[in-house]
Chains A and B, each alone.
Chain A
Amino acid sequence: MGDVTPQEVLQAAAAAIPADCVDKIIVIGSLAAGYHFFGESRAMQIRTKDVDCVLSPRVEAINVGKNIAESLLRAGWKPKFAGGMSGPGTAEIPAEQLPAIRLFPPGSTSWYIELLTVPETEHQRGREWTRVVLPMGHFGLPTFSFLSLTACQPHDTPYGIHYARPEMMALANLLEHPDIKPNEIGDVFEGRKIKRSNKDLGRVLAIARLSQDSDMQVWPRRWEEALRECFPTQCRQLRKAAGSGLRALIASEVDLEQAVWACNNGLLASRPVTMEQLEFTARRLLQDVLEPFEARQYVKK
């Protein structure tokens, strides 16, 4: 996997997607963050291979996902199968065991598009799958508990496609990991296995590190608005636990080291950090953003 410029990948992905679907896609993950912070800077290339595309709104997700996949396959894009799968599923296979829709662009395996969607309700926990039937077989459209946050007030691009606000991706990851879970990433990540929680919480810290202090001052208020919109009945309890995973991360040397590894092989590849530096990034985030958010102290200002 080579280094890619976020702007080039985003532009290529947007150009390949049917015009009537582009507006319903929000790119998330390291590409979205990379585009936001580095744009077209060649000096700030990031290492990513997946272009995670969230389809929103949910009611249109299956049709939009089907249109996009069929259009790309017709244009010569090739499906990528992982986790021991070598082809699409069938009607007999449960949705949660179907392959995700992952497509390589023609003539390249350096990056691929992956389709996801937002949850149907605020009460979903964990990962759920929705079946999408394509001419070549059955696929799954995954969603995660807090993906709906990434669809809140996304940024526009000149290419029609949207990308998630970095602070919303950070909040989704914080809420997804109120503690450090033992499960490791399925694929080997840059040559080693690391816990999913450490990678995702490391992403939160990378975003914080790349953000301006002045921009971060508005995060608590934006987070509150997004929680009220996406989780109206759970807003208070989610807010109160928002920083617990990060506190657990910096209390464990083993976990913090994995987060550093993930950062330095991802968003911070151009500006690698030490453990101490990432720990202080976390302490700043806790003090300046999470503690006011958890206590709603920013409301008084």
Chain B
Amino acid sequence: MSRNQRHRFDYSEGDVVGVVKPRLRALAPLRSAFIEIASFLAAHENSLGFVLLTDPGVSAARLEQEWQNIAKIVRPEIAQRTSLFDYTAGAYQSWPPDRVPELRSHLDRVLDGASTSTGIKLPRANYFTIILKLLLEHRLSGAPAIPLTAKLIGELAGCSFPTVKSTLDQLTHVLRKSPGGGIELKRFPAQEWQALILGADRSRATRRYQDRSGKPRSTAFLIERLANLHRDDIAIGGVAAALDYYPELDLVGSPRLDLCIHAPGQHADLRFIEALDPALQETKGAEAPVSLALHFVRSKASFFTDFSNGLKRAGVVECLLDLYELRLPDQANDWMNELLKQKLDR
């Protein structure tokens, strides 16, 4: 691994690198960030480095003092190329005090979520897929007997009425009016379901993470760590959630944790991955053993329900798609059949 690769910055654009620390409460991580930046700048004499704090829980006076301390311990030519920014209530403050104009465009880009290693800009949402999943979720999860009107579908999916109408028009062969005046699936849309499975990777913008420490952490450990983050926009999926829904499932566990993150907008903040385990690194390799798979739920409604320990559980459809992706079609079909049977039994 080269020296450059070993530095892990949240932002890197041209000759500018940055570390972002949201809601900083202690100074030690700040020092750590500056050591990392100083080390990089020592080897890259034309580069600039910054640490950006968003809504820090540390006073400006303490930040000023810390900046003075850091400026004393690094070489002057490195201190001149290093900056500290505090972004609170929509305004920047910098140390040294005159650095905002020079780096403003980079800072704005960090806050916009683009071009950072921890935040991603998501592709356009596919509302046909979203609405199909919504109808399936309604059918398979035994959703409350609220009529699923076109208006409600639009609200749950997060799209306009014309988009809903266009999608429903494409699904008329599997739809019918429900007794309450809404819309429901009259039969299981097998063909569309197959297409959904095949396109799940793309429609869910799945990202996969591999353990790079050589000592992978258990899914139980990662779940416990997730519980400590108190994030209700992230839900447990995959085998863990499937077993929670359907304990009779012929599975004992999985070395991979599947998570769903609710991302109805265009951006998602992925900093929680490092908080779960700094050794988790994104992998594109098809054969690489994956410790964590992250799927994006793009609808306005997340369909998350309560899991144990204050955590959330992804919707049934997401969990089924996880099982297919994990190459567990027998178990997925078994569970699916059970769900369909229960629904018909009502």
Show the binding face of A for B, using Cβ within 8 Å: 209, 213-214, 240, 243-244, 247-248, 250-253, 273-277, 279-281, 283-284, 286-287, 290-291, 294-295, 297
Contact = CB atoms under 8 A, between A and B. Distances in A.
B67 to A, nearest CB: 17
Given A276-B1, A284-B278, A297 B212 contact: no
11 contacts: A244-B35, A247-B32, A247-B35, A247-B36, A248-B35, A251-B38, A277-B214, A280-B213, A281-B279, A290-B28, A291-B29
Contacts, number: 62
A252 B39 contact: yes
A164 B275 CA distance: 31
B28 A291 contact: yes
Nearest to A239: B28
Interface string B49-80: 00000000000000000000000000000000
B272 interface: no
B9 to A, nearest CB: 13
B291 to A, nearest CB: 12
A279 B6 contact: yes
Contact of B278 (A251, A252, A283): A283
Nearest to B43: A253
A284 B36 CA distance: 16
Given A274-B214, A284-B277, A253 B3 contact: yes
A275 B215 CA distance: 13
A280 B39 contact: no
B179 to A, nearest CB: 52
Contacts of B99: none
User: Across chains A and B, which 8 residue pairs bring their CB atoms closest together, nearest first?
Assistant: A295-B26, A280-B279, A280-B213, A251-B39, A283-B278, A277-B214, A294-B28, A247-B35
B188 interface: no
Interface range, B side: 20 to 34
Contacts of B28: 240, 243, 290-291, 294-295
B106 interface: no
Interface in B274-292: 274-275, 277-279
Contacts of B214: 273-274, 277
A241 to B, nearest CB: 9
Interface string B196-237: 000000000000000011110100010000000000000000
B58 to A, nearest CB: 11
A213 B28 CA distance: 22
Contact of A280 (B32, B36, B38, B212): B212
A284 B279 contact: yes
B300 interface: no
Nearest to B38: A251
Nearest to B214: A277
A291 B278 contact: no
B25 interface: yes
A290 B279 CA distance: 16
B31 interface: yes
Nearest to B33: A247
A89 B2 CA distance: 49
A240 B66 CA distance: 13
Contacts of A244: 31, 35
A280 B278 CA distance: 7
Contacts of A274: 214
Give the residue among B32, B217, B221 with the most A Cβ atoms within 10 A.
B32
Contact of B215 (A209, A247, A283, A287): A209
Contacts of B275: 287
A223 to B, nearest CB: 14
Interface in B238-275: 274-275
Nearest to B280: A280
